[in-house]
Amino acid sequence: MTTDSPLEIIHRYPEHDQQWAKGFLLGMTGTELSPEQARSELEAALEMINGSGQRASQLFDDPWEFSQTRAQALYTPEQRANAEYPVQNSASLVVGVFAVIGLLCLGFGIWIGFRDGWMSNSWHYTQLASLIAGAGVGLSLHLWWFYRFRGQFRRARVTGILGSMVSIGVAGLVGLVGGDQPMPIWNWVAPLLGIAAVVAAFCLPTPQEDSHEATSQSDSPDSWFAETGKQLRGRYGMSRQEAKAAVAPVRQHWIDSRIDGRELSMSEEFGTPNEFVISLGPSTSKPAKRRWLLLRLLPLAVAIIYGFCVVPDLFRPDRSGWDILMGIALVVFIGITLFELRPRNRHAYVARKISERQAQARALEDGRDE
């Protein structure tokens, strides 16, 4: 195994192929491949170029396309599972939420500072309470979604419910104690707190996530069935009943083989839960349709509920420009969401998802042959 850095390997390429190698490395950087896998691929390509006497572009064609093909062939089952997730770890989610809060504090802090003066006390306890409640509930619900997506249902429930309750409790306490009084902080403090929140977000330690392989190693049939069911529900959005039905033939297969006097090793016969779930991916169009619909109906429902608060303000004689702006933004958002809900879009999304899952399942099967 090479210990050279990617750039050192690229320098060993023939001069006219170094540009190609840089493109190849750049293509691999955008994939799920680890730095070790990328280094090893660069080495392998160099070896083939040296052995053939041809130019890299003649041998492998476009570097970006070649990097994607190689990535598909090399992914481990764990990496294939990660490709399904929009966010790779909970730390990224926390960083994202903290960064948004920090930027909000920074933006509004600067605006209020210029408007009311930097040494005034414009911020009220009720605003702090709203920020705590909004950020806390937002983060808790995102973490609930994140853990649920990874099939960690208990952790999702605990984080979602407990986090929301604590945030609302703290916000309520702040609101109760402070009331609508201004806080004893100068306006210049808010933007600084915003910057501190953004910086702190990127300095947070990255927690060790439970990987699918770690939870998939157990060969006990009960844990195999439980883990497979959880992953089908979390990753592909199957209902409890659908997941149970998908696993039922396997369970019966295992029982029948025991009746026949064969003791099957679950991972040898069916693969790890993660591998089995990836193989079932192409047959998940119904849950994919449902998840697509839910992901669009949920923000629509929130927007409509919010609309009930905004619309009365629009008809007041003393309505402000801000009220009008919010009303227009809401109508635009609802209009775009409704337009997006067309069956044509849904079919296109499901077709794309199923084709991606087919490619993952096929590559996993091919990997078993290599």
Partner 1 sequence: MVAMSNPNGFPGSWQRAMLPMLLLAELSLGPTHGYALSKNLQQRGLGPLKGATLYPALAKLEASGLVETRWEEGQGGPGRKVYELSDAGSSELKAQREQFDQLVQLVKATGLSQVR
Binding-site ranges for partner 1 (CB under 8 A): 244-246, 248-253, 255-257, 259, 264, 268-271, 275-276, 279-280, 282-283, 285, 361, 365-366, 368-370
As measured in angstroms, the least distance from the Cβ of 102 to partner 1 is: 45
DSSP letter at 205? P
The residue among 221 and 307 lying less far from partner 1, judged by its C-beta, is: 221
Give the Cα separation of 283 and 357 in Å (integer): 9
Count other C-beta atoms under 10 Å from residue 96's C-beta.
14
Q: Which of 136, 111, 115, 92 lies closest to 194, judged by CA?
A: 111
Pair of tokens at residue 152: 């960690």
The residue among 270 and 292 lying less far from partner 1, judged by its C-beta, is: 270
As measured in angstroms, the least distance from the Cβ of 47 to partner 1 is: 18
DSSP letter at 182? B
* Phi then psi dihedrals of residue 124, to 5 deg: -105, 160
As measured in angstroms, the least distance from the Cβ of 259 to partner 1 is: 6
As measured in angstroms, the least distance from the Cβ of 288 to partner 1 is: 11
Q: How far apart are the first and last CA of the chain?
A: 19
The residue among 250 and 330 lying less far from partner 1, judged by its C-beta, is: 250
As measured in angstroms, the least distance from the Cβ of 151 to partner 1 is: 19
Contact 188, 133 (CB under 8 A): no
Q: How many CA atoms lie within 13 A of 333 on its CB side?
A: 17
The residue among 45 and 132 lying less far from partner 1, judged by its C-beta, is: 45
As measured in angstroms, the least distance from the Cβ of 65 to partner 1 is: 19
Annotate 103-123 with three-state secondary structure. Answer: HHHHHHHHHHHHHHCCCCCCC
Pair of tokens at residue 303: 């927007």
As measured in angstroms, the least distance from the Cβ of 148 to partner 1 is: 23
The residue among 268 and 318 lying less far from partner 1, judged by its C-beta, is: 268
The residue among 98 and 236 lying less far from partner 1, judged by its C-beta, is: 236
Question: At residue 72, what is the residue type?
Answer: Q
Contacts of 110 by beta carbon, 8 Å cutoff, 6+ apart: 191
The residue among 276 and 349 lying less far from partner 1, judged by its C-beta, is: 276
